[in-house]
Structure 1
């Protein structure tokens, strides 16, 4: 029989990439972590990590076991939640969200949910997708309002985790944000290559990654003069003349005086916004209701 604590240690080592960092996170000694992993490997008859001077990486067997560990953690969390609901008579629902999407989509959806299910106790936690999606897999949150650019759903390294169900809500195209008096501010659409000589303000790491990929293809190196994880602050820096920026559509509200947002020429880059859940959680009435409410909120925005 595989010990649940050993699976917990396995997950921590996979997440942190080293025995020492996992030990610190778990409040164990590195020796204890090593012993748990060694015992797990003996019970499996296979190595779960490849060790090197740079840390540890999962083997094929290790990836399988991390997926199993995530599933076990999710089931235990779900069972504990059900027991709590039995004892209190109240349903708990935990939602993870990124800030701009949560601000625009969640209030109306949560109002609809609580009207239909007034006994629901809501918990809302703000995370970027690379942090919220592992929490869904672990059962720590019931669903995550998240986004991705082109490619797979973001997540932490490790792989082998339970598959998420993704419900698409809306696309969120990026805009170039310029000072109001900029020579290109009146254009109906822009190619970012036209701004190769401009200094840039970065609103988040993911739009930075897109900008750098685009700039490399267009043959220029962006000069970065401002960095922030707050799109409102990024637009304020643009208004102050620090540089220009790339901002998703839903992060253009509330308005900032002194800036102009111009769409990027097709094919315009976009964030793809959706809801991530685990299959067995979708059967819960409140989860199903909230996903439906979020879809209606997104549809109303698209129609508007």
Structure 2
């Protein structure tokens, strides 16, 4: 039994096909088939029901996948465990929401790379609920998401990284307008309502009985800010203290009564297979956002 064959098994279980699994682990489809054949011979059991168009795990296959995930996780954590106290080693697969990806994460990765040059970091972006699901499935080691994450998979724990307030942003030419005039009389650029931030904004608009005239609905905070900067409308977005300092050219005022706040957290599985690496990432981000 090889570790690579176990990774192959996990890739097939994750992607649901031999073709996509082969692409994800950078092997040919024939090599993938050989890996599974060797595992089935070693375990003396069929891992997939091949009578269907797409491979479906058998009962034995489900057990094998669970044990394979435990073995691979344990193996991947060895480097982190045997590294010195001051220098961390190993691999950390990070999922991150778009707003953090475009703000705090780049500098955090640079700092982490300087402190621990033997760390191997990979990054994937997505929405909070999607990242939480991928974390639970073992595709990610940690995820930077908003709190709460809904639906929140069982067995995840969170560490608060920083807080952001929700703010109304508008072109400076509209400085004389109050909240209701800004949001009801100007074109409104929505934060995507599939995201938790977008749903929070929508709920508060309804609670305050504010009827907006939606001109756009975007999933990129950077794009929303650019649209407002160009005078194409007003918006509500979550902003960090650093963001606020960079947007002095816009009219900015708190959104909500009281102002709505969101927490950005680091999600991990309960068993914390990358505990030391995750703690190092969290520490760098907390220090960076508190400065």
Normalized against structure 2, the TM-score is what? 0.66
Count, aligned residues: 249
Question: Residues 271 and 77 of structure 1: is their aligned pair in 2 closer, same or farther, counting only changes over 3 Å?
Answer: farther
Question: Residues 261 and 278 of structure 1: is their aligned pair in 2 closer, same or farther, counting only changes over 3 Å?
Answer: same
Q: Which residue of 2 aligns with 1:201?
A: 189
Q: Which secondary structure state, in structure 1, belongs to the residue aligned with residue 52 of structure 2?
A: helix
Q: Which residue of 2 aligns with 1:288?
A: 279
Q: Which residue of 2 aligns with 1:134?
A: 133
Per-residue Cα deviation, 1:106-134 (whole angstroms, up to 9, x for no partner): 34433443344321122122222122212
Deviation at 1:95, TM superposition (A): 1.5
Q: Which secondary structure state, in structure 1, belongs to the residue aligned with residue 271 of structure 2?
A: helix
Deviation at 1:264, TM superposition (A): 2.1
Deviation at 1:25, TM superposition (A): 9.6
| Aligned-partner Cα distance in 1 for 2:247–2:111 | 30
Q: Which residue of 2 aligns with 1:213?
A: 203
Q: Which residue of 1 aligns with 2:28?
A: none
| Aligned-partner Cα distance in 2 for 1:183–1:229 | 26
The answer to whether residue 249 in structure 2 is matched with residue 261 in structure 1 is no
Matches within 5 A, 1:24-35: 32=52
Per-residue Cα deviation, 1:3-25 (whole angstroms, up to 9, x for no partner): xx99999988xxxxxxxxx7799
| Aligned-partner Cα distance in 2 for 1:290–1:110 | 8
238-247 or 275-284, which deviates more: 275-284
Among residues 206, 221, 234, which one is paired with 1:244 in the alignment? 234
| Aligned-partner Cα distance in 2 for 1:193–1:73 | 58
Per-residue Cα deviation, 1:128-159 (whole angstroms, up to 9, x for no partner): 212221222122222111113xxx4234xxx7
The answer to whether residue 220 in structure 2 is matched with residue 230 in structure 1 is yes
| Aligned-partner Cα distance in 2 for 1:208–1:287 | 27
| Aligned-partner Cα distance in 2 for 1:69–1:202 | 45
Q: Which residue of 2 aligns with 1:15?
A: none
Question: Residues 175 and 294 of structure 1: is their aligned pair in 2 closer, same or farther, counting only changes over 3 Å?
Answer: same
| Aligned-partner Cα distance in 1 for 2:131–2:232 | 32
Deviation at 1:182, TM superposition (A): 0.8
Matches within 5 A, 1:111-122: 111-122=110-121
Question: Residues 263 and 73 of structure 1: is their aligned pair in 2 closer, same or farther, counting only changes over 3 Å?
Answer: farther
Normalized against structure 1, the TM-score is what? 0.64
Q: Which residue of 2 aligns with 1:78?
A: 73
Question: Residues 220 and 138 of structure 1: is their aligned pair in 2 closer, same or farther, counting only changes over 3 Å?
Answer: same
Runs of 5+ consecutive residues of structure 2 not aligned to the other structure: 1-7, 22-47, 82-88
Per-residue Cα deviation, 1:25-59 (whole angstroms, up to 9, x for no partner): 9799997279958x65xx9xxxxxxxxxxxxxxxx
CA RMSD, Structure 1 to Structure 2 (Å): 4.2
Deviation at 1:174, TM superposition (A): 0.8
Among residues 150, 153, 174, which one is paired with 1:154 in the alignment? 150
Runs of 5+ consecutive residues of structure 1 not aligned to the other structure: 13-21, 44-64
| Aligned-partner Cα distance in 2 for 1:245–1:215 | 12
